[in-house]
Structure 1
Amino acid sequence: MCAKNILWIMCDQLRFDYLSCAGHPYLQTPNIDALANRGVRFSRAYVQSPICGPSRMSFYTGRYVRSHGSTWNGVPLRVGEPTLGDHLSEIGVRTALIGKTHMRADTEGMARLGIDPESLIGVQVAQCGFEPYERDDGLHPDGPYAPDPAYDDYLRDRGFGGSNPWEQWANSAQGEDGDILSGWLLAHADKPARVPEAHSETAYMTNRAMAFIREAKADGRPWCAHLSYIKPHWPYIVPAPYHDMYGANQVVPVVRSGREKENPHPLYASYMEERFSRVFARPGVRERVIPAYMGLIRQIDDHVGRLAAFLEEEGLTDSTMIVFTSDHGDYLGDHWLGEKELFHEVSVKIPLIVVDPSRDADATRGTVTDALVEAIDLAPTFLDAFGGKAKPHVLEGRSLLPLLRGSPDWTRRAVISEYDYSQRRARVDHDVPVADCRMTMVFDGRWKLVHVEGMRPMLYDLESDPEEFVDLGDDPACEAERARLLGLMFAWARNPANRITMSEEQIAAAYDTELDANILIGYWDEAEVDAARKARGDAE
């Protein structure tokens, strides 16, 4: 049985452990938990890069960063790179975006090929293959990704005016004297956003998703709706009543140790000195920011509940696969860091819940699997769920349907994640050429190795050190593990997915067809050709 529709919900910067179904002791997420009870929760899901743009490009292409080439935020996804939207449109699925992609279009490549950005093809190329039902990447109105989003007009039409309503209303608070207090500043995270909750980004995008689903249902075609929430990504500010729903006494203890500062890896040392890391090391900052982060998640959970009720009202629950995930995590002060970008679990591991409506998935409902899965697995999963033919020569991930439907024959030896630090201070601190600013993580479920070009590796044993405090990257006793993991990484690196225009089946079918095409290479005379033709006929 194939799904008729897919609702793919992605949060931005949501940690894997900030859900009640994942064990958070204070944060309640009953509606997301309900999805977990109806489907499968993946406890070891990893992104292909711990930063927005490259991670999302891997989600949308089903390919590793080394393959699609969009290595950092703002690096365009090249023209011609096949995406989920391309694969699904081939089988008649309407694939729409509602929210964020963080994609930069390859405008130079489009110009070189004579592609009009306003044409149907131009829009698809510029939008990761999605129909941009509502694209909104935040950072209004000056951000490079969505320069004039409809959300600003929506706010102005409701009396929330100004040159930048997104910032001045949805992401700012108001002081006692009427001053606008920027939500960018962490000091204001405990205050409510000026915008009423019903007109906040999360509420607005939920409404737009329901509008699309209603329209798509009337259209009658199968659909994939990518609802991509901008939160709980910074600015860390949330409208009432969510702004004070949680307090400092509900902030879980920070996960960091003085041992991490004793002779740290040079790259790690540089990241601890980034402004976004130093601020989270200051007393009281986590207690101010994390309650807002929790409030943003609780708000998302309430809107997930709205969506679930809406699907039920529309009679779509039994025909719609629902996927809930995030593009990466957030350090929030753990390991002396802010933001994301390195490879500790809180940064590179994500929540992933999949509700498969098929009866074949009944046996796994409400279960948790510890299978190693990757963000690139979603694109082939969606293609598989819609009954499309697999494309392993293009899609480097693997369909999760066997796991969702109880197959024991699904294993992965290790997960891979990549990061380009060329736009961070570590490059300058250590005088590294831009081309060499590469890190690659390989994790086999216990041992996590980070290969750093031109420097020693980092190594963690998550069995004996689940908090990842002890870097064994130069420990002589761990040389065998380092060599083994490097072997896994090099085996992965030796198999780049560059031949995407011809499948293995097509190549196999083309074997020994020269004679059929009257290409007579290596034959001596006509008699030899006739004998070869006769032999082929006999073989047939």
Structure 2
Amino acid sequence: MTRTPKNLLIIMSDEHNPKMLGCAGHPIVETPNLDRLAARGTRFRSAYCTSPVCIPARASFAVGKYIHQMGYADNADAYDGVVPSWHHKLRERGHRVVSIGKLHFREEGEDHGFSDEVIPMHIIEGKGDLMGLVRSDLPVRKGAYKMANLAGPGESQYTFYDREITARAQVWLREAAARHDDKPWVLFVSFVAPHFPLTAPPEHFYKYYDRDLPLPKLYARHERPDHPYLVDYRSSFNYDDYFDAAKLKKALAGYYGLCSFLDENIGKVLQALSDAGLADDTRVLYTSDHGDNLGTRGMWGKSTMFEEAAGVPLIMAGPDIPAGKVIDTPASHVDAYPFILEAVGVDEPALRDGFPGVSLNDLAGGEKPSRNVLVEYHGMGSATGAFMIRHKQYKYIYYVDYPPQLFDLAADPEEIRDLAPEPTSAAVLNECHQRLLAICDPVAVDNKVRQRQAELLEANGGRDLVIQRGDLGFSPPPGAAIVFD
């Protein structure tokens, strides 16, 4: 189908668990603006990031390739603009491409491909999370206490930053957009919520705190799965050591409240788009860089292959996009790359050669590609490389140094029962592994990433100095104080 070139508004959040949406059926979280966006557009029910941690996920979204194809594999190896992005390619063809908010690229002064970067948030000191380079005898994160202790009502560095992002986006749509009408523009608005600290504005926090909240799934210690990869993560990112019943409730209410705060800000941006008379000439894409475990299985943060962390919300709406449609075919962030090019009218076949994505337009139109979507993880809190593919109803997770996992998402959507140890799963495991090998050689990829990490670790003084430098807990927004723990 030929689509008329239109403007494109991309909204990205940070660490938004895909289940935490009203339109996804969550019984508690209220997201009316995103629900309305989904109702007038298409929502992808099985969408995934390419790596469940900020820097690789955001680099991959920019470049349109998987981690093993491009590098930028962990939170100490940020995108530097060397590998061309869709930002570069659209700007080169005369399109205005503007970012407002979090990018988490290496540093200002580099050419990341945008026409303008407005109040960008990049990694700390151009180095990021150096502790993630330590992949053996994993250090315990000293900043883990912040997850529990900062949860509650109020404002944080991040909520103030998101308010400023919202304001700048509204101003750009009302004032600057009209000055760039010669070719379709792309505005990339990138929020931090609901990433912790789990400090939510009171009007959103108490909406959830003043009611009974169920415990996270498999939260009790005797319920938690003991796969060694998960034990490694819980031991290094020992967030849950600082929780009691009272702090747990505050954390849940804080995260839910930040989801509603995010939704409020998205509503303001979408209203500005409408008030500026641009809604009929602009497509909208919403997603998050990755999800959040939110206490499930005793884990907080990201870094796992479960739906809560590796899955992402993915909604698109606007001209020529089917309304009220929900797509079950697995989708990936790499599928955004061809969609973005198409959305603004760039249809040069050469720009898609060598790229793994299937356009979201094609998936929304009913295409069911034979490919398998891939998620990789090589970063903080992991002693081994992890690779996940979706094949039919199955999720297959391969660990280079640990036993695999296998889940039947049709029969077990909450991923309670790992089928991998069962003898009857041998054929499915073999089929899934062969399909993974058709995408990449996981052992070779793991070796290459570890070599790069060893080089970066040595360049930054070695293991002891990196651990002594400490852990931020979360990256500071522009102008905020830097405090290592």
Gaps of 5+ in 1: 106-116, 147-181, 428-436, 497-540
The residue matched to 1:241 in structure 2 has which SS?
A: helix
In the other structure, the counterpart of 1:349 is 311
Q: Does 1:475 align with 2:433?
A: no
In the other structure, the counterpart of 1:130 is 114
Distance in structure 1 (CA, Å) of the matches to 2:296 and 2:24: 18
Gaps of 5+ in 2: 129-143, 445-485
Distance in structure 1 (CA, Å) of the matches to 2:41 and 2:22: 16
Q: Does 1:201 align with 2:185?
A: no
In the other structure, the counterpart of 2:356 is 396
In the other structure, the counterpart of 2:20 is 18
- Displacement of 1:54: 0.5
Q: Does 1:334 align with 2:336?
A: no
The C-alpha deviation readout for 1:239-294, integer Å capped at 9, x for no partner, is 332232221635343111767546x3222222232344433764333311111111
In the other structure, the counterpart of 1:51 is 53
Q: Does 1:414 align with 2:372?
A: yes
Percent of pairs identical after alignment?
A: 28
The residue matched to 1:380 in structure 2 has which SS?
A: helix
- Displacement of 1:193: 2.0
**1:294 aligned partner, one-letter code:** Y
**2:361 aligned partner, one-letter code:** L
Q: 2:257 aligns with which of 295, 314, 329?
A: 295
Q: 4+ residue stretches of structure 1 with deviation over 6 A?
A: none
The C-alpha deviation readout for 1:330-368, integer Å capped at 9, x for no partner, is 11110121111010110111111001313xx3xx20111
TM-score (structure 1 length as normaliser): 0.72
The C-alpha deviation readout for 1:170-207, integer Å capped at 9, x for no partner, is xxxxxxxxxxxx99462342231278x9x822221011
Change (3 A) 1:320 1:280: farther
- Displacement of 1:14: 0.6
In the other structure, the counterpart of 1:384 is 342
Change (3 A) 1:450 1:374: same
- Displacement of 1:48: 0.5
Q: CA RMSD of the aligned region, Å?
A: 2.7
> Matches of residues 110-509 of structure 1 in structure 2 within 5 Å?
118=109, 123-124=110-111, 127=112, 129-137=113-121, 144=126, 184=146, 186-193=148-155, 200-213=160-173, 214-220=175-181, 221-247=183-209, 249-256=211-218, 261=224, 264-279=226-241, 282-358=244-320, 361=321, 364-388=322-346, 389-390=348-349, 391-404=351-364, 407-421=365-379, 423-424=380-381, 426-427=382-383, 437-493=384-440
Distance in structure 1 (CA, Å) of the matches to 2:390 and 2:333: 14
Q: Does the 8 Å CA contact 1:138/1:230 hold for their aligned counterparts? A: no
Q: Aligned pair count? A: 421
- Displacement of 1:70: 0.4
The C-alpha deviation readout for 1:438-479, integer Å capped at 9, x for no partner, is 111111242111111133212222233222122233322211
**2:355 aligned partner, one-letter code:** L
Distance in structure 2 (CA, Å) of the matches to 1:308 and 1:93: 21
Change (3 A) 1:325 1:215: same
The residue matched to 1:98 in structure 2 has which SS?
A: strand
The residue matched to 1:330 in structure 2 has which SS?
A: coil
> Matches of residues 66-85 of structure 1 in structure 2 within 5 Å?
66-77=68-79, 80-85=82-87
Distance in structure 2 (CA, Å) of the matches to 1:245 and 1:289: 13
The residue matched to 1:418 in structure 2 has which SS?
A: strand
Q: Does the 8 Å CA contact 2:148/2:239 hold for their aligned counterparts? A: no
Greater shift in the superposed pair: 270-279 or 440-449: 270-279
- Displacement of 1:101: 1.4
